[in-house]
Amino acid sequence: MGSSMLLAFVQVPDDGSPPDWQAGHAAVEALSFTIDRSTDFGEMLETLEDEDTLPAIPGDEDDTEAMRAWEAEVTAAIQRRLHTRIDELREAHGEPIERMSRELSVTYLFGHRLLVADGRSWGDPPSEAFEAINELADFPQVMHAMGCDLDEPR
């Protein structure tokens, strides 16, 4: 059984400027959620549970006060994780661009500038930059704020 090549990419401003990291952090702070057992944040909640950074869900979902407190703790854990991922991507991106980490490469596709991270499908995740792109992609409002989305120009 072999492994496959995995790619994670994010569009960045075509003019060569870096993503707007501060706007990304601001968008993370503006996030609010209604969270219950069925909420889907990609693999984020599962990852946070595996790392023991999430509080246990209250046994009684009808206890509104306990559920609100739990929701606030989960939101804070997600926000901390997203802030970390933005910082990891910023560090890998490098400024000036000549300092870009070997975890990333820049390519152009159909006139758009992309940051690409790659790796194999077996073992640990390919790189922190790969994981950062994957996790941030689950929050389009953060990616949009940074100017890193395929749908809308900044």
| Whether the predicted model's global pTM rises above the 0.95 cut | no
Q: What residues does each domain of the chain span?
A: 5-145
Cα radius of gyration (the chain): 17
- In this prediction, residue 150 carries a pLDDT of 57
pLDDT in tens, 50-87: 676 777 777 776 778 888 888 888 888 889 999 999 99
Are the CB atoms for 64 and 55 separated by under 8 Å?
no
pLDDT in tens, 114-154: 888 887 777 777 788 888 888 898 888 999 999 887 555 44
Whole-number Å distance between alpha carbons of 27 and 23: 6
Per the rule left: phi > 0, alpha: psi between -120 and 50, beta: everything else, 13 is: beta
